[in-house]
Structure 1
């Protein structure tokens, strides 16, 4: 059953953390030194300093560029094992639906967008249809997403631009996409990576939070974060890297209370200890399929369902 698989997935994550920590505490014949004692007593070190790849960052020593690249890529490899089913969490069937859904996702959840867009696309399936719609009718459909007047203006404006400038087709170039109303670099890279298979890094709030916690960059501006993180990975990794990081941010590494004790990459994280470190308490903080809850999509990929994930309920469902 999906719920059982989800629960097993959460337990497996906790066991993996425990196994990694146990491996770092192997007995030794060497007598403890004053330096060892100081490290043991130092607050907030946790599992992070136990791993050779992340030791420099964890104890506050400068991390070489080579060490940073190795640690970052190792984190991505670990996340790929944790979330082999990572995917864009907006429902879409074509590039037009994806660009509209991504614009609508501003200041709301993907779940709320996914619950709202079926009615929108049923009534206005093409850019031509949406461009010619009555604004008040579109506003009423988009009301649940918040900021519905501004969003109506954006999606109708981009639809009109698609019709007038691109023959009703979503362009597959960054420089064209960012000219559309309501479309910035983040939205453009979502569309390029997931509708056209062209690599891009999606710097949303989850991505920004996690890469700073992991000390991949100290930048705060999205374009600078994009450049800094992009330089750590081959271009071919960028799209899936974005999915891995965002999935982890939504499920385990939360903004207010990270589930550190249930995090399989804790040994690689310089910020280990900012959240709940007790494994059982941390397990209760897990969200979506890791905690046995429905995901964001009404129509998720089969790989997600096979892994124990559950589709979200439609708008208005109990």
Structure 2
């Protein structure tokens, strides 16, 4: 009986390395070059030098409330409901004094208003109990507030405290995939890409530029490519025009205007 031929050291090494051949999945990337990204955001900066969020608020607390209320609702609809509410309750203490039932009455024109009213009272209570009535500045603390997720926290950090963040809403989710700027399945994936690729000097205003571009130009049902200042750079398969619109500064935003 012949003995089995011993395996060579090369064969053994190959076999032992089979499990290590799998490479980790590559991080998702944009379809644009660094120069193209610079040009895209340069044009946005000329078109809207000082973009603003379109939720009306008077301080960090009312901003938190407004953004939390805006889930599955339009900014215009939230503004209509909160104008009267914020006149009587612009601090957590005043909101608690108002009570859940009266908060419900103010916001009943907003979708899911019953649950949102409950969250507004709960987050007000937590601010008083845990943060001395002040809105915290870190994402880790903000997301502990009832009804506040990562997107809301990012908006508050940016708009209330001037911290560069990327709040991925439905507009940015759509834009990221449609024009292949930041292809991803989840808001977190898209946020990760955008935070890595957007030129640093443009990062602070970037999420507002993208939101406003998606809201008023690259619209959900039908993008208005003839009005787009980046039509010649855009890599969307839906693009209908490759001639960019004139690069001029737009009229100043009127906060609270209807969409």
Q: Same fold per TM (> 0.5)?
A: yes
Residue 131 of structure 1: how far off its partner (Å):
2.2
Q: Structure 1 residue 122: deviation in Å? A: 1.6
User: In the alignment, which residue of structure 1 is the partner of 2:71?
Assistant: 106
Q: 1:57-68, aligned counterparts within 5 Å? A: 68=33
Q: Say how many residue pairs are matched.
A: 227
TM-score (normalised: structure 2): 0.80
Q: Which structure ranks higher in relative contact order (CA pairs < 8 Å, sequence separation ≥ 6)? A: 1
Query: Counterparts of 1:124 and 1:245 in 2: how far apart (Å)?
Result: 31
List 4+ stretches of structure 1 deviating above 3 A.
64-67, 234-237, 275-279, 308-314
Q: State the shift of 1:176 in Å.
A: 0.3
> Displacement, 1:311?
5.4
Cα deviation, residue 196, structure 1: 0.5
- 1:238 CA drift (Å): 2.7
Contact 1:199/1:236 (<8 A) preserved: no
Question: What CA distance in whole angstroms lies between the structure 2 residues aligned with 1:78 and 1:86?
Answer: 13
Match for residue 193 of structure 2 among 225, 228, 250: 228
* TM-score, normalised with respect to structure 1: 0.66
2:180 aligned with 1:215: yes
Q: Does 1:256 align with 2:229?
A: no
Structure 1's unaligned 5+ residue stretches are 1-63, 284-289, 291-302
Question: What is the CA deviation profile of residues 217-246 of structure 1, one whole-angstrom value per residue up to 9, with x for unaligned ones?
Answer: 321111111111111024553330001111
Contact 1:199 1:235 in 2 (8 A): no
CA distance in 2, matches of 1:278, 1:69: 20
What's the offset of the Cα at 1:277? 4.5
Given that 2:155 and 2:167 are in contact with CA atoms closer than 8 Å, whether structure 1 keeps it comes out as yes
Whether the 8 Å contact between 1:100 and 1:155 is mirrored in structure 2 is: yes
Query: Using a 3 Å threshold, how does the CA distance of structure 1 residues 69 and 84 change in structure 2: closer, same or farther?
Result: same
- The yes-or-no answer on 1:173 pairing with 2:138 is yes
Paired position in structure 1 for 2:165: 200
1:80 is displaced (CA, Å) by 1.3
Unaligned runs of 5+ in 2: 1-28
**1:60-115 CA distance string (max 9 Å, x none):** xxxx9795332223211111112223111111121001100000111111111111
Q: Which residue of 1 aligns with 2:17?
A: none
What secondary structure is seen at the aligned counterpart in 2 of 1:179?
coil
Aligned to 1:80: 45
Distance 1:239 1:103 in 2: 21
